[in-house]
Amino acid sequence: MGARIQVDEITSVLKQEIANYREELDVSQVGQVLEVGDGIARIYGLGGAMAGEMLEFESGATGVVFNLEETSIGAVVLGDYLGIKEGETVKGTGQLLSVPVGDALIGRVVDPLGRPLDAKGAIMSPARRPLETRAPGIAERQPVNQPLQTGIKAIDAMIPIGRGQRELIIGDRKTGKTAVALDTIINQRGGDVVCVHVAIGQKESTVAGVVEKLREHHAMDYTIVVAASSSDSAPLQYIAPYAGCAMAEYFMYEQGRHTLCIYDDLSKQAAAYRQLSLLLRRPPGREAYPGDVFYLHSRLLERSCKLAERRAIVRKGESYKPGGVNGKTYIGVPGKHEAEHELKSLGAETHEMKTDPKSGGSLTALPIIETLEGEVSAYIPTNVISITDGQIYLEPDLFFAGIRPAINVGISVSRVGGNAQIKAMKKIAGSLRLDLAAYRELEAFAQLGTDLDAATQKQLDRGARMVELLKQGQYRPYHVTDQVISIFTGSNGFLDDLPVSQVAAFEERMLTHVRDEFPELRQSIQERKEITDEVATKLKEVIGNFKKQFTATK
């Protein structure tokens, strides 16, 4: 009996010692590689790991926790996985995957982990942001009502994009999707927008060409290029859009600036995600994509927004400080009314309302999706169409017919609409859309060779010239004032009796004439952002006189 008690005592002491030893060692933070291949690793141990946590492999590689299973975890390896061996140890860092952010990245070409690819030296930036962050809630946003000018006449007139909007660019390969995105970046030159171009699964030569074009047009002065080329592993292609979004978010949240993020393209990211999911034995769904592929894009694109302004009541002469004198920060439009009420009760003689200079920034997203044979109803295109605030559809038939940008205005749409246009553009864009709609309807009848009455023939002539007017060369974005004058000219019938082949030459010379001879007209439209009756009358007179000169010389 005594021996039995002694054994129990020894057992309890041993259990206690083992428990203490485990606490000191903290074995939950060390694991072992069971198998590795194709950019993924299965790891035994790491019981305390969390989804999205950064891992450090003994060989020096970095990984991210992807699957949390009963006896092991599935991780994706970022970068070269060929150096990882079975049995090597893996350490959990206790931190989510993050990237360097800040002004040091502007003008640089980096990989999705923020490592330089342009041979310009290390990026010295103390700030970092996690790749995955929560999208702002409803109260933290404000309506999209400020234009983001693309410089492309067809888009700014009929499918306007606002700051904080998500507008999808969709079409088959080689229809000019990247060209539209690059023109939009180039058009921000001299403005206040920081641009991030994320190239996913592109050829390295293509990415180099994009960077060279941006340099040529001095657009790299305000642009970051994040590149995960087709030769990079699937995990890097998967995280690239989140990395680009995190870099743009820094300027929006920390500096209150406006940003533009282009994801070129998300169909390749979805394919990379499908590859990882199938390798980690996640159940396949439609087109073999995993069930959460919708969430893959929705959690990325929902981070785009126009942030609401934060306000506080402070004593006269003081600068903004969170909370102000009453310990409260007022967010958004309802908050403004609350702040005004509070100011009234405290007295406007001693207190004033101040706006946080770091609030009110925006992140505009232009995701690109590549379709196969115009199949817009495929799984990924329909998913992204349902997430975004409209789409610009580029049609191969138009592209090959020489109508470039090859935008199909009939099925392209912006769900923000006129809210993202200046008054002058809003006034003339309505007639442009109607002219093109009438032209499309009548074009089919005209091909039958039937005799047309004068009114129908006039509509056909007007439509053909408006289509010609909307053609635009690549890397030649137009200032919004020039766009307004150009469309005003077409909508008011000045081109109707010109041969279609002369429309482009007439437009170019007419804009130069207005810019050089009548700068006050252009300045009036630019400053007031609208065409008054007085300006419209003067503009018609100027264009009419120029047309007489033009036809005489021709």
- State which amino acid sits at residue 397: D
Long-range contacts of 481-484 (CB under 8 A, 24+ apart): 481/522, 481/525, 481/526, 482/511, 482/515, 483/153, 483/156, 483/157, 483/425, 484/422, 484/424, 484/425, 484/428, 484/525, 484/531
Q: How many CB atoms within 10 Å of residue 92?
A: 24
Q: Return d(Cα 530, Cα 267) in angstroms, integer.
A: 40
Q: Is 476 a catalytic residue?
A: no
User: In terms of Cα–Cα distance, which of 26, 175, 7, 159 is closest to 91?
Assistant: 26
Say if residues 282 and 217 touch (Cβ distance below 8 Å): no
| Tokens at 526, concatenated | 């630019």
Q: Return d(Cα 394, Cα 389) in angstroms, integer.
A: 17
Q: Return d(Cα 419, Cα 426) in angstroms, integer.
A: 9
Indicate the DSSP class of residue 285. Answer: -
Say if residues 378 and 372 touch (Cβ distance below 8 Å): yes
Q: What is the CA radius of gyration of the chain?
A: 29
β-pairing, 330-331 vs 310-315, is antiparallel
User: In terms of Cα–Cα distance, which of 336, 339, 334 is closest to 313?
Assistant: 339
Find the distance separating the first CA and the last CA of the chain, reported in whole Å.
Answer: 121
Beta strands in 222-333 (DSSP E): 223-228, 258-264, 305-306, 310-315, 330-331
Say if residues 123 and 109 touch (Cβ distance below 8 Å): no
- State which amino acid sits at residue 71: T
- For residue 109, the cross-strand partners are 225
H or E element at residue 96: strand 89-96
Q: Return d(Cα 301, Cα 370) in angstroms, integer.
A: 17
CA 444 to chain centre: 37
CA 405 to chain centre: 19
Say if residues 530 and 427 touch (Cβ distance below 8 Å): yes
Q: Return d(Cα 178, Cα 263) in angstroms, integer.
A: 10
Q: Return d(Cα 514, Cα 506) in angstroms, integer.
A: 12
Task: Tell me which of 128, 415, 440, 515 is the catalytic residue.
Answer: 415
Alpha helices in 358-422 (DSSP H): 379-387, 396-400
Q: How many CB atoms within 10 Å of residue 151?
A: 23
Q: Return d(Cα 241, Cα 20) in angstroms, integer.
A: 44
| Residue reference for tokens 């908050």 | 335
DSSP per-residue letters across 490-553: HHTTTTTTS-GGGHHHHHHHHHHHHHHH-HHHHHHHHHHSS--HHHHHHHHHHHHHHHHHHHHH
Q: Return d(Cα 313, Cα 322) in angstroms, integer.
A: 9
Residues acting as catalytic residues:
415
